[in-house]
Amino acid sequence: MKKTIPLLLLLMLSCIALHAQPQPTSEPMSHVTVGQSVVPLYGPWKFHVGDNPQWADPSFDDSSWETVTLSPTTTSFDPITGWNGYVAGWTAKGHPGYWGYAWYRIRVKVNSQPGERLALDVAGNVDDVFQAFANGTLVGSFGKFPSGKTPVTYYSQPAMFQLPQSSTAGAQTLMLAFRVWMMPTDLQAAPDAGGFHNAPLLGQADAIAATYELARVRLDRVYFSGAVEAALFFLLAIMAVSLLFFDRSDHVYRWLTAVFLLTTLTSVYTCIIAWTQLQSITTASIVNDVFAIPLVLGGWVMVWWKWFRLRRPSWMPTLIAVLTALYMVCDLLGENLFFNVIPPSVNAGFHMASLGTRILFMPVLIMIVVWGVREQGREGWLALPAVILAAVAQFQTELSVLHVRVMWFPFGGRISLAQISMLALAAVMLILLVRRLLFSLRRQRQMALDVKQAQEIQQVILPGAVTWFPGYAIESEYRPAREVGGDFFQILPHESDGSMLIVVGDVTGKGLQAGMMVALLVGAIRSTAEFNSDPEVMLRALNRRLLGRGDAHATCLAMRVTADGEVMLANAGHLPPYLNGKPLDVEGALPLGLDYDAEFSVTSFRLSEGDRMVLVSDGIAEAMDAEGRLFGFERVEKMLAQNESALLSATALADAAQQFGQEDDISVITVTRAEILKPVLV
């Protein structure tokens, strides 16, 4: 029997040294040789709600206080961090709904050597902040306790406190007291809130330092998934921005960019407040719960609204904005963040309103996806499961309070229902983005083919660079700003009298749409010229062709030139031609396509032998260099005047404007009446 007792003591001390879940005790520890070990202080503890500075005094009589134990069950774990040894707080031990100050006291007898340093380790699971006292002396605190003010709380983190050195060897009694303060927000956010959820550890300072570092590592592992989530959504945000530059017309990429960036910032912020004490719980709740979470939810609803290209009912975006704002206001006033100002009954009412707002979001979100199924089928069905999961995740806090498991802890890390829902949404969106990108690339290739064909057609319907008519030399140059341009011109001879009809114009806009209007007008010019080559009749016919086609307008100039040099010119808002380097005096008029009864200015004059007309589009004068200076009409006149004797070619003028800085389509047409060669008498 005498040999059995030392063996049992040795076995017990070995278990303590390994910190391998020692058996809880119901009596104060006595005659414990600390050595290199740590000991969990399961109890019995004395507990009392309220606050009195005298309760830190070792001589205070706490015999009338409640007796509680911090002994965990073998299967208990923290629903927030996943750590073993979780103990329910005071709300589950006879004080439901209580928040504020409470005290824990315990007397411990320890054996230590003179000068041996002891320390306390609070693993980081206390609601919310506390002060630690040893024999009536404050040895440390977690959080801030400004005099006469409400404590400043932070998310729970491991804390280590050095205890006063022992000056004598042998057994000594240590009176430990903890002054704990919990904010009312925990009553709505955490199950079984209040005070300690793990037993503090007492031991030799070096051993406690090792357990403290281990607890820090465990905390880092718990929130490491947040860092991974932040990195993932940052990459998704970069992808969304890239798609936005690829296709600015699709507004869904703007919403995706905003949602991904906001999720990234929220994840980073969560890691910061969990790993540091840079932000209080109140500030973190305002940033995350009041602003970030409602904005992310409203943003995702708008993402699906834009993704499925829904337009009816037209009031739906307004409803989403109103629900998001209401969600933010209800969370701000319903989370007990301003408990010193707002009565508890008001907080409770707004908390229920917040719950109701989130419930209203569910049918809106699901309804949008159902409409998407009706509109697009496959994409909607793919999104529906992820959307339903995201809707359920909005009630993660309420489910946790009801002891429904909403967090899992694979490999020592943590992943929550909200994170799973966000990852599911991101995965579905990534699949849909790849699918849409493939369709977009296919459409881009088809559009490029259409543009190529339109370019070839435009090249066919426009005259060649040099055209000869009896008694006239005509040169033309055309430089579209894009593959397909909006400038047009036609030179049509009239065989019966040897005259020719020249029509030049500029359609509003650029690209394929302008090119289609050019084809329409060229067809109308050719069909009208077969019956009547009068310039004014031509403009009226083109004007009627453009009416009723939305924003389709065009400036145009029609000019009939006879064999003997008589010119009749009708103008509809186009630039007047230059005659021998000087602009003709032509009255202004409305462009085509604005008014059915529009009046066009008509001018007549005669071209003598050697006279030269130059017709230009506004792309010449509107050419702009890198410093924002225009090519301008004065420069055109100067070039024409300087080269009058050498007859500046249409190519040279177009080259000068293009090299200066082309902004719009450039077209130049020159018409020169040839000199009649007279026989020389010998």
| Whether the Cβ atoms of residue 454 and residue 427 lie closer than 8 Å to each other | no
Average pLDDT, the chain: 83
Q: Is the pLDDT of residue 28 over 50?
A: no
Which CATH number is 46's domain given? 2.60.120.260
Looking at the structure, tell me whether residues 346 and 298 fall in a common domain: yes
Which CATH number is 515's domain given? 3.60.40.10
Residue 283: exposed, middle, or buried by beta-carbon count in 10 A (0-12, 13-18, 19+)? middle
Domain final residue pick, 158, 193, 214: 214
Residue 649 structural domain: 463-673
According to the model, what pLDDT value does residue 378 have?
74
According to the model, what pLDDT value does residue 154 have?
93
Q: Is the pLDDT of residue 298 over 50?
A: yes
Domain final residue pick, 171, 188, 214: 214
* pLDDT tens string 565-576: 899 999 998 989
For residues 647 and 650, what is the distance between their CA atoms, to the nearest angstrom? 9
Looking at the structure, tell me whether residues 558 and 666 fall in a common domain: yes
Q: Is the pLDDT of residue 528 over 60?
A: yes
What is the phi-psi region of residue 113: left when phi exceeds 0, alpha when psi lies from -120 to 50, beta otherwise?
beta
According to the model, what pLDDT value does residue 679 have?
45
Looking at the structure, tell me whether residues 350 and 312 fall in a common domain: yes
Residues β-bridged to residue 179: 103, 131
Q: Is residue 208 part of a domain?
A: yes
For residues 666 and 482, what is the distance between their CA atoms, to the nearest angstrom? 11
Looking at the structure, tell me whether residues 409 and 478 fall in a common domain: no
According to the model, what pLDDT value does residue 642 have?
75
Residue 312: exposed, middle, or buried by beta-carbon count in 10 A (0-12, 13-18, 19+)? exposed
Helix (H) or strand (E) holding 434: helix 417-461
Q: Is the pLDDT of residue 24 over 50?
A: no
pLDDT band at 318 (very low <50, low <70, confident <90, very high): very high
Domain final residue pick, 214, 233, 254: 214
| Whether the Cβ atoms of residue 403 and residue 210 lie closer than 8 Å to each other | no
For residues 630 and 620, what is the distance between their CA atoms, to the nearest angstrom? 9
Looking at the structure, tell me whether residues 414 and 531 fall in a common domain: no
pLDDT band at 27 (very low <50, low <70, confident <90, very high): very low
Helix (H) or strand (E) holding 667: strand 666-673
Whole-structure pTM value? 0.65
- In angstroms, what CA-CA distances link 563 with 464, 494, 500, 593? 21, 10, 8, 32
Average pLDDT over residues 376-400: 82
Looking at the structure, tell me whether residues 415 and 555 fall in a common domain: no
- For residue 95, the 8-state DSSP code is -
Residue 643: exposed, middle, or buried by beta-carbon count in 10 A (0-12, 13-18, 19+)? middle
Sheet holding 554-561, edge to edge: 487-494, 499-507, 554-561, 566-572, 601-606
At 446, list the tokens: 């088809």
For residues 584 and 559, what is the distance between their CA atoms, to the nearest angstrom? 13
Pick from 69-83, 150-164, 414-428, 611-625: least confident: 69-83
Number of other CB atoms surrounding residue 588 within 10 Å:
10
Q: Is the pLDDT of residue 656 over 80?
A: yes
For residues 185 and 284, what is the distance between their CA atoms, to the nearest angstrom? 12
* pLDDT tens string 544-600: 988 877 777 899 999 999 988 899 999 998 989 999 888 898 888 889 988 888 889
Between 270 and 444, residue with greater pLDDT: 270
pLDDT band at 120 (very low <50, low <70, confident <90, very high): very high
Q: Using a pLDDT cut of 70, give the percent of the chain over it.
A: 88
According to the model, what pLDDT value does residue 447 have?
67
| Whether the Cβ atoms of residue 123 and residue 196 lie closer than 8 Å to each other | no
What domain count does the chain have? 3
Looking at the structure, tell me whether residues 508 and 387 fall in a common domain: no
Looking at the structure, tell me whether residues 19 and 140 fall in a common domain: yes
Looking at the structure, tell me whether residues 387 and 474 fall in a common domain: no
According to the model, what pLDDT value does residue 468 have?
66
φ, ψ of residue 325 in degrees (nearest 5):
-65, -40
According to the model, what pLDDT value does residue 165 have?
76
Looking at the structure, tell me whether residues 469 and 435 fall in a common domain: no
Looking at the structure, tell me whether residues 399 and 514 fall in a common domain: no
Q: Is residue 578 part of a domain?
A: yes
Q: Is the pLDDT of residue 11 over 90?
A: no
Q: Is the pLDDT of residue 19 over 60?
A: no
